[in-house]
Structure 1
Amino acid sequence: MPMRRLPSPFRILVFFLLCCLLCAVAAQAGPINAKSAILMDVTTGRILYEQRADMKIPPASLTKVISMYVAMNAISARKTDYNKVVKVSANAARTGGSRFGLRAGDKLTLDKLFYGMAVASGNDASVAVAEHVAGSSAAFVTRMNALARRLGMKNTRFVNVHGLPAKGQVTTARDMLKMARAYQAHYPIARRYHLARSVTHNGHREPNHNPLVGSYQGLDGLKTGWVTAAGYNIIATARRNGHKLIAVILGAPNTGVRAAEARRLLNAGFAAVSKKKSSAIAELGVSQKQAAQLKKSAVPAQKKVKKSKAPARKSAAADKRQSTRKKSKH
């Protein structure tokens, strides 16, 4: 019968340290006042916190993020361009809910419409973009769902391009995290749209609906949303001290709580990956070299690490040296 390979002390250390990070965030953040939440350190690919992260909830205007993602894919494929002038249809102009103030016959660049979606959360701008890119909202929604499947958003289904209430349109905090992570990685240009303080069209100035813009240190996105069935949603992304975090909160009771909880979750995350991590390493007596190896080993789960015989020989030699040191001490 073959002997089972015992986990190496280093692997046990990695597991223990990750548990420390999870506990640190949970202890500092506590329960989030919302239906669902999740937090990831994108730098390492580690989930730092989750609360009912797979609960199905309407995405509301977070839908506009994947709509912009699909449109940017079309630009990347050279099917259109940021400076392409779009003529607004009557259908787009009469779209209700939050609006950018478009009128039938208006002519705007795709670039300006992106600001209308990201800053003003314009449902009318979303329809105008969808019709330009795919010919109709229905055809555009097909692309949205296809992209969602490619991103592994298993519990998400889109019915429209803007997020207005629609039967069967649902997502989860975990799926929104996957979407936001891929979107920002593929299109760094998106940052300029989501961080704009305001946008003006037809003489009307609309401030950014995201209250964290301009007020949270290191913020680099992303979007808020609300419908009655969901509550108040937000995807908040920020970067500090070499770490990028993505927080998703779905179903907060009001705008104030939504913003406060997003700040609290991000703050807890940054504390965990900096102070808490350093403290945990120090308390465990890990050397600087081992800490560097630990950081290097913390890769996203989806990335495959190529097998190499050299590290195994090195590890065996290290174990032998460690054993020799132990004998000399006793």
Structure 2
Amino acid sequence: MKILRFTFRLVAAVVVVAGTSGCLTMPVVPGASSAVAELGPVFPGIASYIVVDANDGHVVMAHAANQKRPVASLTKLATAMTVLEYMKHSGGDAGEMMVVPSQIQLLADRGALGFLPGDRLAVRDGLYAAMMASDNAAAETLAVHFGQKLTGAGLGGGNPMAAFVSQMNGLVHRLGMNGTMFVNAHGLEGSGPMGYSTAADVGRLTMAGLRTPGLSFYSSQSQRGITVVRDGAARPILVRNTNVLLGRAGIDGGKTGTTTPAGPCLMITAPRPATVDKRPDGSTVVVPNRLIVVVLGASDRFNQAYTLLMQGWPAYERWRAAGSPVGAGTALGVPAALP
């Protein structure tokens, strides 16, 4: 079978990620966010969805995938990626301790783990809490902690949250996610402007996330023990993953999200064994197989996403059997790896 790879010329951008010893200029993927065509049936109870090949970005199925919508806690994918990218470029330590800020008291929903202002926890435990339990206080803590580092480097005008969200939107820009804007690190709606994204852009974000070292590990576990220090005493907390599909049909990652404006949202990803294709010259190439499913505004998100995954595999295999053709609106563009 013919194997197509998408490559992009990287150019210098104005997006900046600050490290503890300076700033790094990051590249942009120009023109990566072309509109996705209607490539599947309308499912009652799903506002928009996409099923995409995680490796080459081929869109297997899609409906209203370009529609801008609030995406609730799917926002935390970008939060975690921003944290991991900062640590990659600054030499950060996942064991570094953070202090839960007092501003979590302003959140309409702090989350189920019961963090209190003044609690201390490691960055890695904050990532587990945000990605597995979808804890909003954990996401806020990560944003403030790393936002303070950014403001210390002269970014964000002295506002740690603004500095961090700016980096999230810098990530969006570099990935060509032209239908996305984040306004906070957790995805809750407040009295100000509402953040938004699209099913296609969440697919792009997930593709990049799968190439971000460490991110999959934080979302692939069904449960994990973390430690919070409160009033000088270490307190164990068991974090359970809100993605109930983990382990079913090979599903090994994902992210849940729900708010009233967004409705129930879900991203899942699952691999199948790699296949070996023969090239015209007689050589062979190993092709990894992995699908991403994103559903937004879904009335029964777990069953609906699972159904789309089960329907997506045969459609993906038909596309591969046809020689992996590329048509207008049938491919997402993302870099092979975040720089």
TM-score between both structures, scaled by the size of structure 1: 0.72
Q: Where do residues 257-296 of structure 1 align in structure 2 (5 Å cutoff)?
A: 257-274=300-317, 276=318, 294=323
The match for 1:14 is: none
The match for 2:241 is: 208
What secondary structure sits across from 1:108 in the alignment?
A: strand
1:104: how far off? 2.3
Relative to structure 1, the CA distance from residue 140 to residue 96 in structure 2 (aligned partners, 3 Å threshold; closer, same or farther) is same
Q: Aligned equivalents of 2:173 and 2:334: distance in 1?
A: 19
Q: Aligned equivalents of 1:180 and 1:64: distance in 2?
A: 11
Q: Aligned equivalents of 1:90 and 1:179: distance in 2?
A: 30
1:35: how far off? 0.3
Alignment deviations for residues 108-129 of structure 1 (CA, whole Å, 9 cap, x no partner): 1111110000111111111111
Q: Select the residue among 185, 209, 214 that pairs with 2:211.
A: 185
What secondary structure sits across from 2:46 in the alignment?
A: coil
What secondary structure sits across from 2:90 in the alignment?
A: coil
Tell me if structure 1 keeps the 8 A contact 2:112–2:133. yes
Tell me if structure 1 keeps the 8 A contact 2:175–2:334. no
Quote the RMSD (CA, aligned, Å): 2.8
TM-score between both structures, scaled by the size of structure 2: 0.70
Q: Select the residue among 209, 222, 234 that pairs with 2:266.
A: 234
The match for 1:91 is: 103
1:296: how far off? 10
1:71: how far off? 0.3
Relative to structure 1, the CA distance from residue 239 to residue 96 in structure 2 (aligned partners, 3 Å threshold; closer, same or farther) is same
Structure number with bigger Rg: 1
Q: Aligned equivalents of 1:301 and 1:249: distance in 2?
A: 16
Tell me if structure 2 keeps the 8 A contact 1:90–1:105. yes
Alignment deviations for residues 9-59 of structure 1 (CA, whole Å, 9 cap, x no partner): x9xxxxxxxxxxx99x84xx7635310001111233210111011111101
What secondary structure sits across from 1:236 in the alignment?
A: strand
Please identify which structure carries the higher strand content.
2
What secondary structure sits across from 1:115 in the alignment?
A: helix
The match for 1:163 is: 187
Q: Aligned equivalents of 2:205 and 2:304: distance in 1?
A: 21
Code of the residue aligned with 1:248 in structure 2: it is: V
Please identify which structure carries the higher helix content.
1
Q: Aligned equivalents of 1:123 and 1:85: distance in 2?
A: 18
Q: Which is bigger in relative contact order (C-alpha 8 A, separation at least 6)? A: 2
Tell me if structure 1 keeps the 8 A contact 2:139–2:186. yes
User: Please, which runs of 5 or more residues in structure 1 have no aligned partner?
Assistant: 1-9, 11-21, 282-293, 305-330
What secondary structure sits across from 1:35 in the alignment?
A: strand
Alignment deviations for residues 273-315 of structure 1 (CA, whole Å, 9 cap, x no partner): 33x458x66xxxxxxxxxxxx36999977599xxxxxxxxxxx
